[in-house]
Amino acid sequence: MLRIGLTGGIGAGKSTVAAQLANLGAVVADADRFAREVLAPGTPGLAAVAAEFGPAVLAGDGSLDRAALGRLVFADESRRRALEQITHPLVAQRTAQVLDDAGPEAIVVHDVPLIVEKQMGALYHLVLVVHASERVRIDRLLASRAMSRDDVRARIAAQADDGQRRAAADVWLDNDRPAPEVAADLSVLWEGRLQPFEANLRAGTRADRPARAEIVPYDGSWPAQAARLAARIDLAAGALGCGTQHVGSTAVPGLAAKDVVDLQLGVRSLADADEVVVALAAAGFPRVVGVTRDNPHAVLESAADPAVWSKRFHANADPGRAVNLHVRVVGSPGWRAALLLRDWWRADAVERSAYQGEKQRLAAATDSAAEYADAKEAWFAVAVDRAVAWGRRSGWAPPG
């Protein structure tokens, strides 16, 4: 089952996007609808809300006066939290029911307003944020709801801002545009990314990669992408993991690189690495069979013995984001080398530039990504000694 978290600010139009995804074949779990259902007349949820907030939040017919409740909770964070303590467990029960009924081949879209605010992104394979400008959102809400302009602004102010949403978004959908343009983008997303992602996830296979290595300019969004991916990996690994770190070229500001995010999950032993294989695959990172060690170098405590360079290697099932996930024992030569090289390139502009030039030269001279990776080894065999020397001079130690 592929789990998509769908979110956006009030008035951004995520309900419309959810409906379009449902038409494409998604199973939609709508948290707002569930929130209305659990507070319907006669429900334990409504009784609990009335007990907490008083009869003023009930309409004359005994139903919930949502406008009255909204005026209370959106102006007072403590009252909003009190409401959430009542409604969130009830909504979670309804959501679990929908997920259980969806089946293993489903693409489930969980429509949740507070994914960003509650830092829930790691629960999903992807987070899709629907965006609209504040002016558009205000106009939509004034036209569609019995709310004053002050109420609308208070609701918007109580939610995450655009910068926070961008940091949480794997997919950013601009919903200020004409509806046919948005629908076209959703169709491309569905057919080009979500359906293949689900198929790869179910089969436990990595997504296809470009045949040749292409070096692209540094992308300032790479660290945020890595942080989202690391959170999912850490959640999947649980207590068997010792933290996931961004390594490789995309972890070095200013360095041109292949558009592949390299991550390193630390474990206490390779037995622990093998224990998390299933969980990592379910999170979207299937193991790549046959890759069992790094190329050894006679550095880092003279660790040239191939056995101490053993690791496990996973990659992305998501065709929209290439990931190399190296699972290494904490303190092992490969684990240390990945962190040392990253920090060396971050600190030394001359070495960073030299590495970038070598990458660009080899990418142009090789016919495949595999040839490119093999060709880099000759450069590493020499460069790693300089990295070790830098580490000794600078007093470098692995972070954490």
Annotated binding site for ATP: 11-16
Check: CB of residue 252 under 8 Å from CB of residue 345.
Answer: yes
Could you report how far apart the first and last alpha carbons of the chain are, in Å?
Answer: 35
> Binding-site residues, please?
11-16
Q: Which residues contact 337 (CB under 8 A, 6 or more apart)?
A: 294, 297, 299, 300, 384, 387
Label residues 323-358 b or e (16+ Cβ within 10 Å = b). Answer: bbbbbbbbebbbbbbbbbbbbbbeebeebbeebbeb
Return d(Cα 384, Cα 155) in angstroms, integer: 54
SS (H, E, C) the chain: CEEEEEEECCCCCHHHHHHHHHHHCCEEEEHHHHHHHCCCCCCHHHHHHHHHHCHHHECCCCCECHHHHHHHHCCCHHHHHHHHHHHHHHHHHHHHHHHHHHCCCCEEEEECCCCCCCCCHHHCCEEEEEECCHHHHHHHHHHHCCCCHHHHHHHHHCCCCHHHHHHHCCEEEECCCCHHHHHHHHHHHHHHHHHHHHHHHHHCCCCCCCCCCCCECCCCCHHHHHHHHHHHHHHHHHHHEEEEEEECHHHCCCCCECCCEEEEEEECCHHHHHHCHHHHHHCCCCECCCCCECCCCCCCCCCCCHHHHECEEEECCCCCCCEEEEEEECCCHHHHHHHHHHHHHHHCHHHHHHHHHHHHHHHHHCCCHHHHHHHHHHHHHHHHHHHHHHHHHHCCCCCC
Residues in the chain: 400
